[in-house]
Structures are given as C-alpha cells and as structure tokens.
Amino acid sequence: MTLSRTFVAAVVGILSAATSANAITNGVGKLPVMGYNAWNAFACNVNETLIIQTAKYMTEYGLLNVGYNHVNLDDCWAMKNRSSTGEVMSDNIRFPSMNTLTDQLHALGFYAGIYSDSGWFTCAGYPGSFLHEEQDAMTFQSWGFDFLKYDNCAIPFDDIIQEGMIGKYQRMADALAAVAEKTGTTLIFSLCEWGWSQVWLWGAQISHSWRIDSDIGPQWNSISSIINSASFITQATNHYGHNDLDMLEIGNGDLTYDEAKTHFTAWALVKAPLLIGTNLATISQEMLSILKNQEIIAVNQDPIYGTSISPFRWGINPDWTYNATYPAQYWSGPSENGTVFMLINTLSEPANMFFNLTESPWIRAGIQYSVRDLWTHTDNGTAVRSFTAMNVPAHGVVALLLKEDGNEPVGLAPPCAGEALSQCTAENGTSYS
C-alpha cells in the first residue's frame, strides 16, 4: 500500500524525535554486538557442551578473528522454579555451573550472554524476572555474564504492573545500573520487545539495542519485510544504541546465496547486531564466506560513524511507500572510508539498477568518485554523476564504497546534475533548467 501524507509526516516526526534521544553511554555497547545466539538453530535443545563446541567452531572457522566475539544463551537454560530464596537457577543437568560456562567462554576469547524476560515467565515458560529484576541482575553478574537479552512474554495484568512498555523495561535497566554501581560490572542490555510501543523513540535511553519487528524466519519474505520496517526508522541508530533486526538466518531455511548476501548486507549496513543463528557444525563454506566478509563487517563496526545507512530512493515504489514485499531499494550513508551504497533488487528476476550520485546526500556535486565493490572486493573504476549496477540477481544486493577522486571532467552538460537541474542557474541569472 502507499502511505498517506499524514502518515509520512508522522514518520518524519518520529525520526526527528529519535535522533534527539539520549543514548545510554555507560561504557559498553558502542558498536553493534557480533556473535552467536543458539535459538534459531537449536531452540530449547541446548546444553553447556553444545555452547562450548559452538565457540570452538567460531574460533576454528575464523569467526572470532573477524569480530564475532559474543556467545549468547537464549531461552530454556533455567530450572522451571526458583530457589526457596527466590534465585533463578540454571538447569542442573544441561548447565550444571554457569560460572564454569562463562569461564570457558572467556578463556576462549568470547563474551558471554544470557537471556531473561520482563514478565512472569519467559516465552518458553521458565521464570521471568518481573519482581526479581535486581536479584536476577546480580545473579547474572555473579555468574560472569556480559550481555542480557530481555524478552516480552507473560506480561503481568495492568493493575499489577501499572507500567507501559518503557516502564516495564526501565525496571531491569535500573536493576542493571544498581548492580553496576555495586560491582563495577556493566552488562550490554538488549531489548526484545518486537518493535512494540515505538521503541525506536526511547530504546536508546535505557538499552544498547532494541528489536524493531516480530521474529525473523529463514525465508525471503521475512527478510524483505524486516528491511521494509527498518527503512522508516534508520535515524534511531547511532553509537551505543542500535535498531535490532533480529538474529541472522544465514545457513538456515531456503534462502538462496544471493538472498543470504542481501540479508547480511542489510543487517550490517544499518548497524544492527550481527548474531549468527545456524548450526556451525553443518554450515557450508558458501554461507560462511558471507558471514566473514570483512569489508561489510568494517562498515557495521565503524568507530567513527555510528549511523545507519538510509534509503535515498525507494525504487519500484514511490518514496515512503510501506511495502513488505518490495522495500526500499537504494540506500546510502557515510563511513570513515567513504560513502557506502546498498542496492537491493527486490524483484524475482535480474535487473539493472541506476542512480545519480547526488541522489545521496553524502555525495558532493562536481566530484568524481572511485568505486569499490564490497562483495567482489574489486576496484571498479570511476563514477561520474551516475552509476549503473548491471544484472543484479533476483533478491540480490550490490554494496559499494565510493571515495572522492578529484573533480569531474570539465564541460559536462547539463552543468548541474540530478534534482539540482530544476534550479540550475548561471551567475548572470541564466537558467539551465
């Protein structure tokens, strides 16, 4: 469907508000988290042996070396009941000692992550942290964890919680701050509230990342739908606070190689967390090569520019069109090494993709640009005023890095490129429009 003017105005207002939110700068979480989460591959079928073996695979396959340095538990690690004094307890068969688990992960060079829920129970029916926030936060710290994913199931009745979504998550944010004050340990805090309550407006005030949509699936329609959602709220992301598009599905389901590349590129360039979610014992070299693209990862982990790339043209649809099947196609943003472009072919057949350079707000008029392809790892000549990517595969992606390469050739006509042509004027007042 096409958005109305009223809706577009509302979106612009939302984005403006998002950029003014104060990020939680408590010494951790400046860059998007990279690592592993077991849920997409194993759900509740996890134990200490599996987690440690996965960490060893990450080292063996070179994933740790390129930045994947977190190994995070998801749901189902706990006993079904708390102790007599209210402590949450790890499953005594599958996770007999959380301290042993985190010690092993730390010794291998990884940070360790754990999961809980803001309600009475987790999504799989294990104890949630409601009314036990500081007690659980202290437990997680004492076990040696560095990261907390916090879910949104089993919400208490209104007359009990008497909070909206912000207040429900603020409870754990306050608990983590209290534990940090007492112990000196600050955990990265990741909200999993599925995009409810316009989290992009307030998530950065209490956390380091926040889910923007419902759960991902290993199908193209899920990937394109999440990209569509992200396209309207890119300004919420910066250092210390990131839109979270959910865990990666690379290596799962029926995603083609090109779809998996698009999935990874979009997640990385919007500066979302990159959490691998497949069985590394069976991952193909083709999918592994996607996860290890260091030129794409470098943009995600940019220490200078924390902002997401954003659409400059929707492409198939008019700009600002909400369409989960055909999301925005033309994106760009600044990086420490130049201007990054992402082109997504949302069609089910190959297509050529053309853009004028100055459609991107980060490009200077009158300058030519060298072109680096971040997937072929090749330098592809110089772009003057425009660029065409030829024969982009169905559901495929092109990722480019453009760098200034001197003035454009003298005497190009018309004297102004792109939309500036409508107001292109000589010093003597002659119009060239």
Active-site choice (151, 213, 244, 246): 151
C-alpha–C-alpha distance, residues 306 and 241, integer Å: 9
Amino acid letter, 83 = S
Known active-site residue 151: yes
Known active-site residue 215: yes
C-alpha–C-alpha distance, residues 5 and 218, integer Å: 34
How confident is the prediction along the chain (433 residues), in pLDDT tens digits per residue?
334 333 343 444 444 344 434 678 889 999 999 999 999 999 999 999 999 999 999 999 999 999 999 999 999 999 999 999 999 999 999 999 999 999 999 999 999 999 999 999 999 999 999 999 999 999 999 999 999 999 999 999 999 999 999 999 999 999 999 999 999 999 999 999 999 999 999 999 999 999 999 999 999 999 999 999 999 999 999 999 999 999 999 999 999 999 999 999 999 999 999 999 999 999 999 999 999 999 999 999 999 999 999 999 999 999 999 999 999 999 999 999 999 999 999 999 999 999 999 999 999 999 999 999 999 999 999 999 999 999 999 999 999 999 999 999 999 999 998 888 899 999 999 998 7
Please tell me whether the overall predicted TM-score, pTM, comes out greater than 0.85 for this model: yes
C-alpha–C-alpha distance, residues 250 and 323, integer Å: 23
Active-site choice (91, 174, 215, 373): 215
